[in-house]
Structure 1
Amino acid sequence: MSDDEQRTLLIEREAGIETLTFNRPEARNALNVQMREELHDAVQRIRADRSVRAVVLRGAGEDFCSGGDVRGMNVTSAQAGRDRIDDLHGWVSTLIDLDRPVIAAVDGVCYGAGFSLALAADFVIASARARFCMPFMKVGLVPDCGAFYTLPRVVGLARAKDLVFTAREVRAAQAKEMGAVLEVVEAGHLHVRAAQIAASLAAASPVAFGIAKRALNQSLGSDLRVMLEIESAAQGIAFTTGFHHEAVKRFREKADPLFTWPAADA
């Protein structure tokens, strides 16, 4: 058996973009203990590695992730259940707050914890056949992997209650309408498009991107005074960066910009 077959998380890097692939296609990439441990190690390493400029999450085969591995759920006490979830929170919170772009390329099934992990990304690009669901109520559980935080912020409180309480499935087009998906593309173009967006964001100012992401993540829990103070401090830092100086120089010289967003038909 090869190393790739033994690993539940495949890791590839190209031009500063690290792709994490959930690698249990025979189980629709359900998260088991090994995958959670490998995700923990990968996310914490990425946090410390400034050479990683963007992250792409995807699934092996035709699915993103079907959620937690129900066959491995044999929790017998509230404390054991809490410990199981607490173990997730360190790397999940790091992923949500990572000061670099995170893109989820969602194909096929995106259920439960898989949906939560997609919500942890800055942008979700979905194939037309992608399906999203928070099925926790069906097994008497509540959303995890940060979904209590991310889902209402992404789709609004009323729609979050709808998705959680009904445990209904929504297709990619409806998920886009709700705001959970940025773009819907054909399955054959999904990973190409995710790579285009990752490459574009990787070329942005790392200082400006990191500060802006952290400020936006704090904005719904802060008031105007706090956010204006963050804005002033952040812009003061951004004005001093080499990226800003070079971008202004290129603008004046009518040269190609450092940062461009990739057109949908790129």
Structure 2
Amino acid sequence: MQTFETLIVSVQDGVARLTLNRPEVMNAIDRRMAAELTEALRALGAREDVRVLLLQGAGANFCAGGDVRGMRDAGPRSAEEARRGMDLYRDMTLALHGFERPVIAAADGVAYGAGFSLLLLADMVLLGERARLCMVFGRVGLIPDCGALYTLPRVVGLQRARELVLSAREIDAAEAQAMGVALEVVASDALLARAQAMAGALTQASPLALALAKRHFQGAFDNDLPATLAHESHGQALALASAYHRDAVRRFTERQPPLFQWPQARR
């Protein structure tokens, strides 16, 4: 895997670990990071040995959002110039949203602005107890980006999404979990171990079944029941014909341990 200026990327035992690596600015996303994230996601998506993506931030924080100092240093821009610049963030968003393998995001510390938006693009979000999330855009006269206007109301509901965006208030890990943003909240020192355990378990699941389920979930709020049933019929036919399914059935009937088993959360 190639090296990047703003990211650390590694692949081991089917798990691709993608780390936002600008800890000196709380992993704020600048134009270079957006471009590198798109490039890395596309490259990882093309690799057959990648079964799961684990997204995290270097240091004590996940991501502080867009690089505000970089915005200042760029100077005044016309709306058209700014729109062209946003194309980088559009491509990054589509690359993460369209990633066909499961995406687990593990976040501690700050997840502000675009950092919050990245979490909403993951399939499962784990937060450390120190995590603080904020749709901070309104504080600097902006609107949410990186897909948040699409994902946030789907995750938390329309009225709550409006409140989070219009108030630009901070929420802690417990409130984020209560809203459905986070699947689990764990001790900060156990966060990455829990995320790795979940990622490792998913490498043992059927990659075909995971990809089919994920693809259909992406349109879950846009399809009616007949369209969903058609998707299920097509996907299930492919899954039923797979070697993984046949082996799983054989293991079940012969009372052998299953290949795939979810790791229990610590209580």
Provide the TM-score with structure 1 as the length reference: 0.95
Tell me what 1:117 maps to.
118
Deviation (angstroms), 1:91: 2.9
How many aligned positions are there?
263
1:95 maps to amino acid: L
The reply on whether 1:82 has 2:83 as its aligned counterpart is yes
The reply on whether 1:69 has 2:67 as its aligned counterpart is yes
1:33 maps to amino acid: R
Unmatched segments (≥5 aa) in structure 1: none
1:181 maps to amino acid: A
**Which secondary structure does the structure 2 equivalent of 1:218 belong to?**
coil
Tell me what 1:16 maps to.
14
Say which of 25, 46, 49 aligns to 1:48: 46
| More divergent stretch after superposition (82-91 vs 225-234) | 82-91
Moved over 6 A (4+): none
CA distance in 2, matches of 1:204, 1:158: 36
Tell me what 2:172 maps to.
171
Tell me what 1:195 maps to.
196
Provide the TM-score with structure 2 as the length reference: 0.95
1:1-266 matches, cutoff 5 A: 7-73=5-71, 74=74, 76-265=77-266
1:216 maps to amino acid: F
CA distance in 1, matches of 2:47, 2:81: 33
Is the 2:113–2:144 contact (alpha carbons within 8 Å) kept by the matching residues of 1? Answer: yes
2:68 maps to amino acid: V
Unmatched segments (≥5 aa) in structure 2: none
Deviation (angstroms), 1:15: 0.3
1:133-155: CA deviation from partner (whole Å, max 9, x where unpaired): 00001111111111111111111
1:66-100: CA deviation from partner (whole Å, max 9, x where unpaired): 00000111351111111121222223112112111
Deviation (angstroms), 1:264: 1.0
Deviation (angstroms), 1:33: 1.9
Deviation (angstroms), 1:7: 2.1
| More divergent stretch after superposition (87-96 vs 76-85) | 87-96
CA distance in 1, matches of 2:211, 2:31: 30
Is the 2:35–2:92 contact (alpha carbons within 8 Å) kept by the matching residues of 1? Answer: no
1:174-194: CA deviation from partner (whole Å, max 9, x where unpaired): 000000000000010000001
CA distance in 2, matches of 1:115, 1:125: 12
CA distance in 2, matches of 1:110, 1:240: 42
Deviation (angstroms), 1:259: 1.1
CA distance in 2, matches of 1:35, 1:98: 18
1:112-170: CA deviation from partner (whole Å, max 9, x where unpaired): 00111111110110000100000001111111111111111111111111111100000
Is the 2:106–2:192 contact (alpha carbons within 8 Å) kept by the matching residues of 1? Answer: yes
**Which secondary structure does the structure 1 equivalent of 2:152 belong to?**
helix
CA distance in 2, matches of 1:14, 1:118: 22
**Which secondary structure does the structure 2 equivalent of 1:126 belong to?**
strand
CA distance in 2, matches of 1:154, 1:200: 24
Identity of aligned residues (%): 48
1:110 maps to amino acid: A
| More divergent stretch after superposition (252-261 vs 72-81) | 72-81
2:185 maps to amino acid: V
